[in-house]
Amino acid sequence: MLTRFDDYPLHQTPEPVAHPATGDRNFYDRYFFNGYTRDGSLYFAAALGLYPNRSVIDASFSVVRGGVQVSLHASGRAPRERGETRVGPISVEVEEPMRRLRLRVAPNESGLEADLVFFARTAAVEEPRFVARDGGRVLMDSTRFTQWGGWSGSLAAEGEQLAGLRPAEVLGSRDRSWGVRRVGEAEGGAPSRQLPQFFWLWAPFHFDRFCTHFDVNEDADGRAWHWNGNRIPALAVAGEGAIDDEAVGERMAAVSHRIDWEPGTRRARRAEVALSPLRGEPLRIALEPILTFQMLGIGYLHPEWGHGLWKGEAALGTERWKLADLLPLDPRHIHVQQLCRARCGPDEGIGILEQLVLGPHHPSGFRSLLDGATEQGRS
User: How far apart are the C-alpha atoms of 21 and 84, rounded to whole Å?
Assistant: 20
pLDDT of residue 194: 81
3-state secondary structure of 98: coil
pLDDT of residue 84: 94
Q: Which residues contact 301 (CB under 8 A, 6 or more apart)?
A: 295, 331, 332, 334, 335
User: How far apart are the C-alpha atoms of 91 and 72, rounded to whole Å?
Assistant: 12
pLDDT of residue 7: 83
Distances (CA, A) of 108 to 56, 111, 112, 113, 309: 21, 6, 7, 7, 22
Asked if 232 and 244 touch (Cβ cutoff 8 Å), the reply is no
7 phi, psi to nearest 5 deg: -80, -5
Q: Which CATH number is 25-364 given?
A: 2.40.370.10
User: CA angle 171-51-307, nearest 5°?
Assistant: 60
User: How far apart are the C-alpha atoms of 186 and 190, rounded to whole Å?
Assistant: 12
User: How far apart are the C-alpha atoms of 11 and 178, rounded to whole Å?
Assistant: 16
3-state secondary structure of 295: helix
Q: What is the pLDDT along the chain (379 residues), one digit of tens a residue?
A: 888 988 889 899 899 989 999 999 999 999 999 999 999 999 999 999 999 999 999 999 999 999 999 999 999 999 999 899 999 999 999 999 999 999 999 999 899 999 999 999 999 999 999 999 988 888 899 999 999 999 999 999 999 999 999 999 999 999 999 999 999 998 888 888 888 999 999 999 999 999 999 999 999 999 999 999 999 999 999 999 999 999 998 899 999 999 999 999 999 999 999 999 999 999 999 999 999 999 999 999 999 999 999 999 999 999 999 999 999 999 999 999 999 999 999 999 999 999 999 999 999 999 999 999 997 656 6
Asked if 68 and 320 touch (Cβ cutoff 8 Å), the reply is yes
Asked if 366 and 378 touch (Cβ cutoff 8 Å), the reply is no
Domain spans of the chain, in order of start: 25-364
201 phi, psi to nearest 5 deg: -125, 140
User: How far apart are the C-alpha atoms of 354 and 338, rounded to whole Å?
Assistant: 6
3-state secondary structure of 67: coil
pLDDT of residue 8: 87
**HEC-encoded secondary structure of 194-256:** CCCCEEEEEEEEEECCEEEEEEEEECCCCCEEEEEEEEEECCCCCCCCCCCCCCCCEECCEEE
pLDDT of residue 376: 63
- The whole-model pTM stands at 0.96
Closest-CA residue to 45 (of 53, 54, 36, 37): 36
User: How far apart are the C-alpha atoms of 278 and 175, rounded to whole Å?
Assistant: 26
In which element (H, E) is residue 363 found? none
